[in-house]
């Protein structure tokens, strides 16, 4: 379950097995009598329920009817009758059990123990439940009637409890015993077969035999067709199997199916809870429902929807705290996966707090929880690593390692444990603990050499890991040797692959080996000739080609993260080689290739993220084309997953079909093909021809941790090396104290000296297009000053805002876009939900289930100034505006297209964690049948017509600005560009609403006067600064607003109203003249 990519944590999903509930030996009258008591409990008629319970028990005691009495153990141990006190409920059940033991009937004794076991488990005492069922098994072996003994069912229950304790090896053994016992029985018990098939499907899952797992889950479904129709068999048991199949579908990459199935599972359990009268079964249904919510959260997490995942998992955790027993292991599980969800959000402090709570519970629990204990320790170690607490990371890795070794035995390894050792060895290499890092990596290496893992995918991983450990420790000679061994392994005829998936995976892990090998050779060579550097470049190009193939079969966020990480590493080192070649030869072609490679890496990231989404739609692309595209991709995945004979034939056939499909896209839908699939390593040799007149382009580029700037003009390009460490420290200090003018004046001047002054001699034009990179997306260059200013008013004279007309872009490739500005008929349209209290109240009334309540929506700040601006601007441009509850996602999608200006006055979130999930927030629909959630995500924008000269999006917030900085804005700008917006005016950070509205109002007046868009924004900011007072002159209030894209003026349609006024005045004048003449006569 551990991911190779350390910055993303895989949330553990919960696979459920089915335990046997109470036996069915009761007479019809017993069932009716018990149901009557359950109804009293449901009505909270506790006194009546207690009296009725004693009355029924006394009658059966008099009759010495043990078959009926044993059915009352659950009621005697009812949690409701014990006022929610589990210990009281247990004591009452045990006392009643001792009473029944006096009959000295083995069957009764066995049933007493089984019933007590479920009460223990419900109270969170799973270990006690397990030992109790073991005692029941010993008694059952003495019962001659096999139906009454039900040994297969007891083995099944032991397996269920063992899985709850996290001992999967024991669970598998016990389920196997259950199966063998059932095979000896003559009469088919379809309910038991159902449970057994479900369990066997789970075991196949844990053995990574996914096809077999799917087969057995389907068999479990079929058994339910033969059983009696009741709430258990109609809702409860189907939901359990469907929940397991959702986990399986997720593993196979069918995330949308897994999410939809999970929603259905949650609903099925809710139906069962509402109609069941059995308290114990209702409690178990609730536990399973909450586990399904946890899994749903983990599925969202796997596709990068970290916030939604956190919401669901947090909701489940809160509900578990309210409804489950304090000792219940499910609470511990929730704390662990909640911590992992917080890690996805990169909120490591919150994650640390949660995992500490989980470990405390585990260490003080009466239950042994190997699986979850190991998970908790591993998670704690990773959190400590992220927080820079390497001492504690070391401690918890050691404890996790000890737990694995203690459980597995000497010299025993599982695949999961070997993966854990990879993580540990890389951690120790990172902190330069040479002895531990090499010891762990070599332990794995030597084990796989003498085990079944030799010449397998797992073996390849560990050879490559040893190479990487040595590389991180700067043992370049050893790293070169082991990476060579890994690469040679790919050509080994004895290489064993259990299926085609392994063959593909080994090929797709090759780029890492190529990179380590190339870097090691680079650092070992003291005489780097152009021939040597070219050879390395060819080697790296092979790796990049493989990564480009991998984009098409991404199935999870972990796959995506690993792909982007390896892309970045390969691209960065390739760029370094190209710079070395440029410095060595002074050949401008290498500098052009350097830029081309960097620009293509930007698009590669966008494309890879889009490939993760299965439900994408694109404007002007027929649905059947998208459906065909999705089908062919899934066929490629299926050909990889299902091939078991090592044959490449199926994959090659599906790949051929895919290539044919791409050819048809290229011919019939060139815009779509170019955006998603065309080669993006376009030459930039002629870029200077596309630079606007009297404009300089400044492209900042990070290469590993080094920063350079390329200045491009009509005459050529120059490169400048910059000191980013100095700039980084000053950017951090600006964010720490944004309102300290004197100290910030120094920081802004330092940034000017570091990031701008070295380039200044090469910048001779007033207009500048800046294309930032990485964390520079968090910086507004206009606020840089050529001296340490002492007051805000000096921004009007000494800043880059005063000296240059600045616009931004995210790629040099866009400068080659020769599309002419389009003149649209309509001037202006605005969408402003405002988010006032009335709208929120109406939304809350509409939502019935708290799990569906969007709490984030209720916390959105109202935007009254934005609403006022929309109304004024609609009048200024003679346009339309959709305000408050009329500003819905549906109305926006259908009304925004083909306006010169689209004003989107709503909250927006630029998501750096999952850039494709950057989103615009609209009013919640009051239509109960509406399926829209009020959020328009970046990936949805591709399917909307937003044709316009300018889109305004000023209330943009950026989460985690230091992580994957700028990625959210790049994705949003790319989507708007594809949807038809020539430029967007947005914000780098959350800008004050009132000041933003003032600046945009000034900007609109300048636009109406015919100014270029970049000039209009510059003049609006300068005008704002001349009238602003006090702290509102701080850059936080104005510098964040930036223009991205085309800067040409907007040719507004002039209203014809004034002609009517002139005509009317003329007619009136003529009439007055005629009347006056008549009067004179």
What's the pLDDT tens digit per position in 808-867? 998 887 775 545 566 788 899 999 998 888 888 888 877 777 777 888 788 888 889 999
| C-alpha to C-alpha distance for 114 and 134, rounded to whole angstroms | 9
Structural domain total, the chain: 2
**Which pLDDT score, from 0 to 100, does residue 24 have?**
38
943 and 1036: one domain?
yes
Residues 929 and 970 occupy one common structural domain: yes
Please report, for residues 106, 131, 310, 792, 931, the alpha-carbon distance to residue 927 in angstroms, rounded to integers and kept in the order given. 62, 55, 27, 49, 9
Q: What is the pLDDT of residue 1009?
A: 93
Note whether 809 and 857 are same-domain residues. Answer: no
Q: Which two tokens stand for residue 461?
A: 């991983």
**What is the Cα–Cα distance from 902 to 881, expressed in whole angstroms?**
10
Q: Which run of H or E residues covers position 719?
A: strand 716-722
Distance CA 2, CA 9 (A): 7
Return the residue matching tokens 């097995």: 17
Question: What CA–CA distance (Å, rounded) separates 456 from 465?
Answer: 14
Regarding whether 731 and 807 lie in a shared domain, the answer is yes
Reported as a single tens digit per residue, the pLDDT across 97-143 is: 999 999 999 999 999 999 999 888 888 788 899 999 999 999 999 99
Last residue of a domain, one of 762, 781, 814: 814
Our separate counts of H helices and E strands in the chain read: 46, 15
Burial group, residue 389, by CB count within 10 angstroms (0-12, 13-18, 19+): middle
Q: Are residues 834 and 865 in the same domain?
A: yes
Contact between 537 and 531 (Cβ < 8 Å): no
Residue 842 counted as domain residue: yes
The reported pLDDT for the residue numbered 425 is: 96
- The three-state secondary structure class of 705 is coil
Task: Report d(CA 145, CA 179) in Å as an integer.
Answer: 19
CATH number at residue 869: 3.40.50
Least confident of 279-288, 400-409, 769-778, 1049-1058: 1049-1058
pLDDT of residue 933: 83
Range with top average pLDDT, 213-217, 603-607, 803-807: 803-807
- pLDDT attached to residue 286: 92
In a domain, 892, yes or no: yes
Torsions phi, psi for 354 (to 5 deg) = -65, -40
pLDDT of residue 8: 34
Does one domain contain both 776 and 867? no
Give me the domain span that covers residue 763: 687-814
Residues 6+ apart with CB under 8 A from 26: 34, 67, 68, 71
pLDDT of amino acid 570: 84
- Give the containing element (helix H, strand E) for 900: strand 899-904
pLDDT tens for 537-562 read 999 888 887 776 665 555 555 555 55
Q: With a threshold of 0.85, does the pTM exceed it?
A: no
Asked if residue 877 is part of any domain, the answer here is: yes
620: Cβ contacts below 8 Å, ≥ 6 apart: 669, 671, 672
**Do 959 and 844 share a structural domain?**
yes
Confidence of residue 21 (pLDDT cuts 50, 70, 90): very low
Domain end point (choices 814, 842, 864): 814
- Return the exposure string of 20-49: e unless at least 16 CB atoms fall within 10 Å of the residue's CB, then b: bbbbeebeeebeebbeebbebbeeeeeeeb
Residue 901 belongs to some domain of the structure: yes
Residues 443-461 have a mean pLDDT of 79
- Per-residue pLDDT averaged across 725-737, rounded? 84
Q: How far apart are CA 872 and CA 874, in angstroms?
A: 6
- Domain presence at residue 946: yes
User: How many percent of the chain have pLDDT more than 70?
Assistant: 83
Same domain, 881 and 1027: yes
Q: Over 70: is that where the pLDDT of 424 sits? A: yes
Assess whether 860 and 917 both reside in one domain.
Answer: yes
Which carries the bigger pLDDT value, residue 948 or residue 913? 948
Which contacts qualify for 76-83: CB closer than 8 Å, 24 or more apart?
77/115, 77/116, 77/119, 78/41, 78/279, 79/122, 79/279, 79/283, 80/41, 80/46, 80/49, 80/279, 81/41, 81/46, 81/49, 81/50, 81/53
pLDDT at 1068 over 70: yes
Distance CA 806, CA 123 (A): 66
Does 1019 share its domain with 907? yes
Report pLDDT for 645: 43
Are 767 and 788 in a shared domain? yes
In a domain, residue 999? The reply is: yes
Model pLDDT, residue 999? 95
Sheet order of strands, 826-832 included: 716-722, 706-713, 695-703, 767-771, 805-808, 1041-1045, 983-987, 948-953, 899-904, 826-832, 880-883
340 contacts: CB under 8 Å, gap ≥ 6: 9, 10, 11, 12, 301, 351, 379
Q: How many CB atoms lie within 10 A of CB 59?
A: 12
Average pLDDT for the chain: 82
Question: What's the rounded Cα separation, in Å, for the pair 455 and 536?
Answer: 27
Angstrom distance (rounded) from CA 550 to CA 598: 19
- 10 Å CB burial of residue 853 (0-12, 13-18, 19+) is middle
Q: How far apart are CA 893 and CA 162, in angstroms?
A: 52
Question: Which residues lie below 8 Å from residue 1077, measured CB to CB, with a gap of 6+?
Answer: none
**Is residue 125 included in any domain, yes or no?**
no
Do the domain assignments include residue 881?
Answer: yes
**Sorting pLDDT into bands at 50, 70 and 90, what band is 1007?**
very high
Instruction: Give the domain-ending residue among 756, 787, 814.
Output: 814
Cβ–Cβ under 8 Å, residues 570 and 510: no
- Answer yes or no: do 802 and 837 share one domain: no
Is the distance from CB of 776 to CB of 700 less than 8 angstroms? Answer: yes
């Amino acid at each position: 379950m551990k991911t190779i990519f350390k910055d993303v944590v895989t949330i553990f999903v919960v696979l459920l097995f089915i335990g046997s509930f109470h036996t069915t030996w009761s007479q019809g009258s017993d069932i009716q009598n018990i149901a009557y008591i359950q109804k009293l409990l449901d009505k909270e008629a506790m006194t009546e329920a207690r009296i009725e319970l004693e009355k029924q028990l006394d009658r059966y005691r008099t009759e010495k009817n043990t078959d009926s009495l044993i059915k009352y153990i659950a009621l005697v141990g009812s949690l409701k009758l014990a006022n929610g006190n589990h210990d009281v409920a247990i004591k009452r059940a045990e006392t009643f059990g001792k009473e029944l033991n006096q009959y000295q009937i083995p069957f009764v004794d066995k049933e007493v123990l089984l019933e007590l076991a479920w009460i223990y488990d419900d109270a969170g005492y799973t270990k006690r439940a397990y030992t109790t069922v073991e005692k029941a098994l010993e008694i059952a072996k003495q019962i001659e009637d096999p139906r009454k003994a039900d040994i297969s069912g007891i083995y099944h229950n032991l397996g269920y409890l063992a899985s709850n304790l996290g001992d999967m090896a024991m669970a598998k053994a016990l389920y196997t015993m259950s199966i063998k016992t059932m095979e000896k029985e003559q009469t088919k018990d379809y309910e038991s077969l159902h449970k057994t098939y479900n369990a066997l499907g789970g075991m196949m899952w844990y053995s990574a035999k996914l096809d077999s797992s799917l087969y057995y889950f389907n068999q479990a479904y079929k058994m339910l067709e033969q059983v009696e129709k009741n709430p258990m068999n109609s809702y409860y048991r189907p939901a359990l199997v469907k929940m397991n199949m959702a986990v399986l579908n997720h593993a196979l990459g069918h995330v949308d199916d897994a999410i939809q199935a999970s929603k259905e599972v949650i609903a099925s359990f809710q139906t069962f809870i509402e109609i069941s009268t059995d308290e114990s079964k209702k409690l178990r249904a609730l536990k399973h429902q909450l586990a399904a919510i946890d899994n749903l959260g983990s599925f969202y997490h796997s596709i990068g929807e970290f916030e939604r995942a956190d919401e669901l998992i947090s909701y489940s955790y809160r509900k578990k705290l309210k409804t489950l027993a304090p000792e219940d292991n499910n609470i511990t599980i929730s704390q662990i996966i909640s911590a992992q969800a917080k890690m996805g959000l990169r909120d490591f402090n919150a994650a640390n707090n949660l995992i500490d709570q989980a470990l405390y519970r585990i260490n003080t629990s009466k239950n042994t929880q190997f699986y979850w204990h190991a998970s908790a320790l591993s998670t704690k170690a990773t959190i400590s690593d992220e927080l820079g607490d390497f001492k504690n990371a070391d401690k918890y890795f050691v404890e996790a390692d000890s737990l694995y070794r203690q459980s597995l035995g000497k010299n025993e390894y599982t695949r999961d444990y070997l993966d854990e050792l990879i993580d540990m060895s890389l951690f120790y290499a990172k902190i330069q603990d040479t002895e531990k890092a090499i010891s762990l990596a070599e332990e794995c290496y030597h084990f796989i050499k003498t085990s079944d893992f030799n010449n397998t995918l797992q073996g390849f991983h560990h050879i490559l890991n040893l190479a990487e450990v040595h590389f991180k420790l700067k043992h370049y000679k050893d790293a070169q040797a082991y990476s060579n061994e890994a690469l040679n392994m790919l050509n080994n005829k004895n290489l064993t692959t259990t299926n085609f998936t392994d063959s593909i995976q080994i090929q797709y892990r090759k780029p890492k080996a190529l990179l380590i090998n190339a870097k090691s050779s680079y650092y070992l060579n003291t005489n780097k000739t152009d021939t040597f550097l070219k050879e390395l470049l060819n080697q790296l190009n092979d790796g990049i080609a493989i990564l480009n193939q991998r984009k098409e079969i991404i199935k999870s966020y972990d796959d995506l993260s690993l792909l982007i990480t390896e892309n970045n590493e390969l691209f960065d080192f390739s760029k370094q080689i190209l710079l070395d070649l440029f410095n060595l030869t002074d050949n401008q072609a290498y500098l052009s290739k350097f830029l081309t490679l960097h620009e293509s890496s930007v698009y590669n990231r966008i494309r890879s993220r889009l490939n993760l989404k299965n439900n994408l739609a694109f404007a002007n692309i027929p649905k059947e084309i998208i459906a065909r595209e999705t089908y062919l991709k899934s066929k490629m995945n299926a050909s990889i997953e299902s091939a078991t004979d090592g044959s490449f034939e199926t994959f090659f056939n599906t790949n051929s079909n895919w290539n044919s499909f791409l050819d048809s896209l290229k011919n019939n839908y060139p815009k779509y093909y170019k955006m998603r699939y065309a080669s993006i390593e376009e030459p930039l040799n002629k870029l200077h021809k596309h630079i606007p007149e009297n404009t300089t382009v400044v492209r900042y580029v990070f290469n590993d941790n080094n920063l350079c700037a390329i200045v491009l003009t009509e005459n050529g390009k120059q490169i400048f090396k910059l000191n980013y460490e100095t700039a980084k420290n000053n950017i951090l200090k600006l964010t720490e104290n944004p309102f300290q003018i004197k100290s910030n004046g120094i920081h802004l001047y330092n940034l000017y000296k570091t990031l701008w002054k070295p380039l200044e001699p090469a910048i001779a034009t007033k207009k500048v297009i800046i294309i930032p990179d990485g964390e520079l997306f968090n910086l507004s260059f206009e606020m840089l000053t050529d001296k340490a200013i002492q007051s805000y008013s000096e921004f009007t004279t000494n800043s880059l805002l005063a000296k240059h007309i600045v616009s931004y872009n995210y790629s040099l490739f866009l400068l080659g876009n020769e599309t002419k500005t389009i003149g649209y008929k309509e001037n202006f349209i605005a969408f402003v939900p405002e988010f006032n209290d009335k709208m929120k109240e109406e939304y809350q009334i509409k939502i019935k289930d708290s799990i569906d309540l969007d709490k984030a929506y209720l916390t959105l700040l109202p935007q009254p100034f934005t609403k006022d601006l929309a109304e004024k601007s609609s009048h200024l441009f003679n346009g339309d505006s959709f305000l408050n509850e009329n500003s819905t996602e549906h109305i926006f999608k259908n009304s925004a297209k083909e306006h010169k200006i689209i004003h989107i006055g709503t909250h927006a979130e630029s998501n750096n964690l999952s850039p494709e999930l950057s989103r615009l927030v609209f009013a919640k629909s009051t239509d109960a049948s509406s399926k829209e959630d009020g959020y328009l995500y970046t990936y949805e924008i591709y399917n909307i017509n937003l044709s316009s000269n300018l889109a305004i999006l000023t209330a943009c917030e950026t989460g985690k600005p230091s992580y994957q900085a700028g990625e959210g804005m790049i994705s949003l700008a790319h989507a708007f560009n594809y949807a038809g917006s020539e430029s967007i005016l947005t914000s780098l950070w959350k800008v004050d609403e009132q000041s933003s509205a003032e600046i945009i109002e000034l900007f609109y007046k300048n636009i109406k006067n015919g100014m270029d868009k970049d000039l209009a924004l510059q003049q609006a900011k300068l005008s704002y600064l001349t009238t602003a007072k006090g702290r509102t002159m701080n850059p936080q209030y104005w510098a964040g607003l930036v223009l991205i894209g085309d800067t040409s003026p907007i040719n507004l349609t002039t209203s014809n109203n004034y002609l009517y006024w002139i005509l009317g005045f003329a007619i009136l004048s003529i009439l007055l003249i005629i009347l006056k003449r008549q009067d004179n006569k």
